[in-house]
Structure 1
Amino acid sequence: MDKISIFVETYGCQMNEYDSDRIINSLMANPVNNPEDADIIIVNTCAIREKADHKAVSAVGKYKKLKIKNPDLIIGMAGCVAQLYGKKLIKQIPHLDFVVGPREIPKLRDLIFDIKESPNHRKINTSMDVEEVFKVNPYHKPGKVNGFVSIQQGCNKKCAYCIVPTVRGNEINRPLKEILEESRLLINQGAKELTYIGQTVNSWKYEGQRFYNLLDHLEELEGLERIRFTTSFPRDITSKMIDSMEKNSKVCRQLHLPVQSGSNRILKQMKRTYSIEWYRECILKLKESMPDLSLSTDIIVGFSDESTKDFEETMRLIEDVKFDTIYSFKYSVRPGTPGEKISNHVNDDIALDRLHLLQTRQREISLENNIKQLKKSYKVLVENQSKNNPNELFGRTSQNKAVYIKNISEKYIGKIVEVTKTEAFQNSFIGELT
């Protein structure tokens, strides 16, 4: 197959971003920024909420005109919506040539070849192949200083609201050797910071090795300056993991630890397997070990029959912990999950009011936290030129705080520099070289 041009539109989580890069690499394709320049357009989808479903179908729909203009154009849908609905999508969207699930990306090149050989033969590949799930490494843009490495696919937790086990299958942990090999490959291509991703990343284990052992191996990689990982499951935070994080010179002082609710009653219905007291104790241990640790979390409002008291307990939690960032959502019923069988969900208007209250308070907390960091110096990995101001460079601290650096030369891109934060906003800072 000749070299092809591809446009990939990505929705959803970091795992989807990683999968989009794997799609590009699996086809050995040339990525383009304009869909009109592409031989293949793929929409990589997210199914975590109903709204994301609709976005995915709408995204594919907008490319219909390009297909009419160029009948040889191949349009496909990948990701979790493709896995979830498969044949239904092919019937619903006449100009869609194929759907492919997350675990079938390694077979995408053969699928495209078949379509080119038989243009009217539309393809569906949503099997759950275990053997080849990690076969294709991602495309890495030359000069990019950060990247993702998948160490795990799927999930065994079976939370009542979550569709991930349905669309990504049971947990499969990647061999240590493969993780280290891909890490070295990205480092050799210029990556200074790598984020290790999995649905419950800290539950990773392989041939007697645990997640804290993996962190030790990663610290030894020459050329790697920063290690991040996401998403962690609270119940899999152990004292050995905390010790490893504290002692590891490369692990960033940032942790995303989804709590979902501050109410024990709701946590039990969600099948989260921990109490809010346990979660609070876990946060306490982490902060005692690493006082400069930045914490983010996920919260769902309106799950099941969440009462005013349940919601107040969630608000009390965010007041006490003072998370730097909260990714919060109104509960969305997903097909095939235990939550689908619950009939007495919170009224939409009430859930939206609660979401507004939570997000409003969290915006205030985020800004309050950031203001406390003004006039202080932090190590920042400079990533690229600011998209909004050519006179500024963009970078992030170990705590994952975005910093726009004034009066700095482009020669610092890819380097870690000391920056003093001079202005604070809700989600970012302006700073200058210290």
Structure 2
Amino acid sequence: MADLFDTGAQAPSAAPRPLADRLRPRALSDVVGQDHVLGPDGPLGAMLAAGTLGSLVLWGPPGVGKTTIARLLADQGDMEFTQISAIFTGVPELRRIFDAARLRRQQGRGTLLFVDEIHRFNKAQQDGFLPHMEDGTIVLVGATTENPSFELNAALLSRAQVIVLERLTLAGLEHLAQRAEAELGRPLPLTAPAREALLEMADGDGRALLNLVEQVSAWKVPGKLDPQALGQRLMRRAAKYDKSGEEHYNLISALHKSVRGSDPDAALYWLARMLAGGEDPRYLARRITRMAIEDIGLADPQAQSICLHAWEVYERLGSPEGDLALAQAIIYLALAPKSNGAYVAWKGAQQLARETGSTPPPKHILNAPTKLMKEQGYGAGYAYDHDAADGFSGQNYFPDGVKRPVLYAPPERGFERELKKRLEYFAKLRARRQARAGD
């Protein structure tokens, strides 16, 4: 059964092998771009040096070497390499794999079980690995492009070390391209700017780059192609973006923090990235409005109206014309004065409301529509603010026994400078009224 999943079997010599397969590293030192985990000070390097290979979860984007690293770890540990995909493997198949691994262990050889797309197994299936990991039947190496914290069981994560692999840099991709040219025996027919454009098309994916290199190397062209000619022959690879996964949350976080940080250029970039990835502009319109409320608030009361208007414009025009309205709102928010004074005040009010429970209002601010309520003191002593010379009575409106808090503390920014002056004015009047009442 192991042979069924082991892709290490050699194809017939007459069959052509893809360039990516021909350049598959034969040693961990040949793996490009992952020195932070494979180097002597990295987690895998230290683990191998100590001779104690444990179960792992390799987390990273496509084309960074997850399968290759797992295969080489098995080779270095003299273990049987068994590869399965969570998409195609069911429980009966897993039982047969565990039985074969148990028999192999009795014969003195370990099994490294590589599970591609491990996050696609449900909770019960993930739990099925645990006893075989604990008794040493298998060393599990799972591969995932999704955040393990969200997709994998806590029990499985507690028994496996998460290794984070990074997308390849342009320097790493160039190193791969040079290897490919050496394997092919000829340079790519590209100018320097076109070569850089090719590397960017791969978007950090080594396998994608080698596939592109294989395409380009097969072209019969006179001279070298420039970026425009390259672009006509190759379609740019779509950027990695999952509208419901971690990438979605990473990019909206980047957009929000760029606005909060008053950087319109960065904010526009992340907005463009999300729209190019297929994000729903209506979701973005809602989040942009939320930014105005949370991070600008009363420092610029017009910000909310700008966002709502941009949202309405998008609904009328749609994409791509309506996208510009969202971009204009983003620029406005990024350059607006920032304040979370109202946000903090609201959170404080909610906390105080939870702490004071069902404490009633003071009786002097309660209406007394019946005789009984008047007899109970409802409304007694209420001072009608408009009767005061300055339109301010200074009465207490918090429940009896609740110490008056300071919830709203506006900063000295934007329109809230004016609100701060008003607060200070009313605080002075209130103190004057209280002092007068105490005389």
Q: Which TM bucket (shorter chain)?
A: under 0.3
Larger Rg belongs to: 2
TM superposition score normalised by structure 2: 0.24
Higher-strand-fraction structure: 1
Higher-helix-fraction structure: 2
TM superposition score normalised by structure 1: 0.25
